[in-house]
Amino acid sequence: MIGLPSYAGVMESLMNSAEEQPPSSLLDNKNEKPKCVGGFVLVHAGAGYHSESKAKEYKHVCKRACQRAVDRLKAGALAVEAVAAALVELEDSPFTNAGMGSNLNLSGEIECDASIMDGKSLHYGAVGAISGMKNPVLVANRLLSEAQKGKLSAGRIPPCFLVGRGAHDWAVGHGMPPCPSEKMATKFSLSAYKRNKRKMELAEKMDTGHNQAKKRRQSSENENCSGCLDTVGAVVVDLEGNVAAAVSSGGLAMKHPGRVGQAAHYGCGCWAENACNMNPYSTAVSTSGCGEHLIRTMLARECSAAMQSEDAHQALLDAMQNKFISSPFLASEDRVLGGVIVLRCCRCVEPQPSQNIQGILVEFLWSHTTESMCVGYMSAQDSKAKTHISRLPPGTVPGQCLAIEGGVCRLTSAVE
């Protein structure tokens, strides 16, 4: 397969001479705690196809999600709290395939997947095929926070990943209010389900024999994987330089009941990891696309590892090309569909060194092999979020080539 990169530094204006600042590890100045650091958030409303007619709605929900996260950061929240707040806003939108308005499965029910990871503690929480919860990411976040409290009675290990009825009952048992599935379905998701059901019934009537059934499966897979892959996600760096990532999805339309996509799988839907002695950069990743492709390549973790290279843009380009499009694990696939948003950061030296000023250099990128991907981004120093719908170059083939864009931002802070 051929990868055709398209790069645009869409946020270069956010930073004055940031590229000239030599980076240093986030472990520097261990004893100094920031008094007021501007955080940063990058969100996505899915990698798939975003029609021009709905572009305004997709951009608007991304703006709201960014603002929600920044408000939490300004209030002193950690990255994991801010990223969860952004996801709640994305899940509540009827235009995204997550939480409210999610795709219906073959049985006409909504089953959602979500996960969240805290780069500071490296804890992770996830739910798969969960029904009756308005915000699956909040259940995942509660699993994460409960696990951080330590072992349960009799020395039992607390769960980090629950599915189906067990996940729902655990959430209710921890005080989270249930939401009837019929209230989570929207006019759009219901009409899409009826339309897809008619298509399947018609195809089944026309099919005769094994070959036709095989063609039907291939057609269904292509239709699912090239259309509304609007999984949502976000990555955040907070006032202390910690990172976090989250992802949420209603899954493929007309999926088999019980199917769990990449949004819930460890290392596939999201990844976050603070800098350490081995890694000079803190990294956070959130993915979207055909879940089975993302699971088989563990793309979130692969991209995070790649971000430890000196050149972030080249590293992501290589990861998407070699670990995804040309992955041996997907050799049988004609089209490999997915997208990622990536954030990495490190301490940077100020032009005029001061004992009272620290800086965080934030590099952020997104890349996708789908027709388009909608993103939004904002720092706590910005008055409003910016949004962008990235599209493949004209004439290129989705699933066989990729687009990559991004920018750089420098955050400054006073320290005690």
Q: How far apart are CA 364 and CA 383, in angstroms?
A: 19
Number of H helices, E strands in the chain: 10, 15
Which H or E element spans position 82? helix 79-92
Dig out the tokens for 366 from the structure: 């997104």
Place of tokens 């006032």: 239
Eight-state DSSP code of residue 401: B
Q: What's the first-to-final CA gap in the chain, in angstroms?
A: 53
What distances in angstroms separate CA 212 from CA 218, 255, 335, 412, one per listed residue?
Answer: 10, 20, 21, 61
Per the annotation, the verdict on 396 as an active-site residue is no
Exposure on the CB side of residue 201, measured as CA atoms within 13 A: 7
Q: How far apart are CA 193 and CA 277, in angstroms?
A: 50
Cβ neighbours, 10 Å, residue 170: 18
Q: Is 259 exposed, middle or buried (0-12, 13-18, 19+ CB in 10 A)?
A: middle
Q: What is the β-pairing status of strands 357-368 and 40-48?
A: unpaired
Please enumerate in sequence order all residues whose Cβ is within 8 A of that of 384, keeping only pairs 6 or more positions apart, or say none: 63, 67, 378
Long-range contacts of 333-336 (CB under 8 A, 24+ apart): 333/293, 333/399, 334/399, 335/222, 335/225, 335/226, 335/369, 335/397, 335/398, 335/399, 335/400, 336/1, 336/290, 336/293, 336/369, 336/399, 336/400
Residue of 96, 186, 208, 231 marked active site: 231
Of 231, 184, 232, 220, nearest in space to 87 by CA: 232
Q: What is the β-pairing status of strands 232-237 and 338-348?
A: unpaired
Q: What amino acid is encoded at 260 in this protein?
A: V
Query: In 3-state terms, what secondary structure has residue 24?
Result: strand
Q: How far apart are CA 396 and CA 388, in angstroms?
A: 20
- Active-site residues, by number, are 231
